[in-house]
Structure 1
């Protein structure tokens, strides 16, 4: 297999991964709190080929060697945590984060995950009929600032201020129900996106180095909560479609290079001395 065929094949594989990433972004354009995925690419292998000394002419400024690459591959996928637009819903259980922070969620298997999606609702406590929990759209428990599930009186109406303090109202009785725990990512690259629009710590990451409680930050750096609103995805459809067209053209070019390389090999194989 010659170099041009290897280069085209490797490039097509990397471009296909980029197309998959764009398709994933477009598919989640209406997902609450979704963060756009971005990819970076790098050379798979680059070697320096030396030209003949006959090319060394008087006054030549460029070196005799030239770089020969073998295509590119997707190096890493990063998350764009840019704030999405906020949409008023009128539902008091919808919460939107303004600023750099994440809700802390407890999954059924005991894993702590993080999300920007604030479409919560109240779920009755199956053990105690007088209390209820705040859960997300998948039934995962929302945690308070102490890392425990938030428990509120059953049938109560919740009022939540910008700092996440919860006041449960039943009739004329108001009860403080704790504070929603917000965490701010110090190293967003150490978070992995999982199914259900959740983020978890990457393997080997130390939570103290990746996340910090938002309440421990200076006041001007703290995020706030807006009740009755949801954060939209930060995916821009126009940009994604424009990028998809560019990537498709690049894929077509690589495919044409692969076809041309195959044609030249066939011609060489059919030559008769």
Structure 2
């Protein structure tokens, strides 16, 4: 009965974490470039009363054994990098990646970070930056009097200036590709950094390397959170939490009966 209490308590803790994860997904349902996270769980250690395969005689062995588990725990909340829907905008600085690549961003501490959110702006010096002011890598500068800014599918950024017919090239956007993007470390602000699990970034030109993706100007990538699916997961998690709480109650009542017997 004590084992049942702790096993059920571990299930309640796991479902509480699952609800926290669902709440985070729903909170970012309208965050451009956000990628949903899926909580995953694994069973804990087992107490072997009878070891499976143990010898039952000279020529026989126990076929199944007797093992009692000790509950569950959260093992990970994997990032699902499926493509989000595209939303058309009237901003020429909005760009989406039609593939698995990431934009490179130079953060305030000088390190490189990576993002799927392609809503860019220009700072006072004309540098293309994120909404937090972090410049793109490599840095691209557009003059203040630039007109007709164009971002080609291959990442070439060009513009026209007044009284000029020919376009000027401002720079070239580069994308990074990871062998295991689910292993990236989330930093917040739609930024990720590589880890040993994700592998080192493979930098290339948009549309060049297989799978890295081409660019599409005038669109933003929406969150890939499915609100309907998250609500279904929420209901399932609530029911699992309720079931575990009933196990705690049942084990407590059984333990109370044992205590009553011992006091008679």
Provide the C-alpha distance between the structure 1 equivalents of 2:208 and 2:219, rounded to a whole number of angstroms: 25
Contact 1:167 1:176 (C-alpha < 8 Å) held by counterparts: yes
- Report what 1:136 is aligned to: 130
Provide the C-alpha distance between the structure 1 equivalents of 2:168 and 2:14, rounded to a whole number of angstroms: 56
> 1:154 offset after TM fit, Å?
2.0
Match of 2:155 among 161, 164, 176: 164
Q: Name the SS for the 1:142 alignment partner.
A: coil
- Report what 2:241 is aligned to: 251
The structure-2 alpha-carbon separation of the partners of 1:90 and 1:64, relative to structure 1 and needing over 3 Å to count, comes to: closer
Residue-by-residue CA offset, 1:149-205 (whole Å, 9 max, x unaligned): 222212323211001101022214432111112111112133111211111123xx3
> 1:221 offset after TM fit, Å?
3.2
- Report what 1:129 is aligned to: none
Match of 2:211 among 201, 205, 221: 221
- Report what 2:10 is aligned to: 10
TM-score, normalised via structure 2 length: 0.88
Contact 1:187 1:210 (C-alpha < 8 Å) held by counterparts: no
Provide the C-alpha distance between the structure 2 equivalents of 1:253 and 1:214, rounded to a whole number of angstroms: 51
Contact 2:81 2:182 (C-alpha < 8 Å) held by counterparts: no
- Report what 2:250 is aligned to: 260
- Report what 1:187 is aligned to: 180
- Report what 2:230 is aligned to: 240
Provide the C-alpha distance between the structure 2 equivalents of 1:48 and 1:83, rounded to a whole number of angstroms: 45
> 1:220 offset after TM fit, Å?
4.8
TM-score, normalised via structure 1 length: 0.85
Structure 1 residues 10-159: aligned runs within 5 Å: 10-50=10-50, 63=63, 65-125=65-125, 132-144=126-138, 149-157=139-147, 158-159=149-150
> 1:69 offset after TM fit, Å?
0.8
Contact 2:100 2:177 (C-alpha < 8 Å) held by counterparts: yes
Provide the C-alpha distance between the structure 2 equivalents of 1:161 and 1:64, rounded to a whole number of angstroms: 63
The structure-2 alpha-carbon separation of the partners of 1:226 and 1:218, relative to structure 1 and needing over 3 Å to count, comes to: closer
Q: Name the SS for the 1:199 alignment partner.
A: strand
In structure 1, the gaps of 5 or more residues are 126-131
Q: Name the SS for the 1:5 alignment partner.
A: helix
Equivalent pairs counted in the alignment come to 253
Provide the C-alpha distance between the structure 2 equivalents of 1:3 and 1:22, rounded to a whole number of angstroms: 29
> 1:222 offset after TM fit, Å?
3.7
Residue-by-residue CA offset, 1:187-241 (whole Å, 9 max, x unaligned): 2133111211111123xx398x432013398655341111100001111111111
Provide the C-alpha distance between the structure 2 equivalents of 1:91 and 1:216, rounded to a whole number of angstroms: 20
Provide the C-alpha distance between the structure 2 equivalents of 1:241 and 1:216, rounded to a whole number of angstroms: 36
Tell me which moved more, 170-179 or 101-110: 170-179
Provide the C-alpha distance between the structure 1 equivalents of 2:70 and 2:250, rounded to a whole number of angstroms: 16
Q: Which has the higher strand share?
A: 1
Match of 1:201 among 171, 194, 200: 194
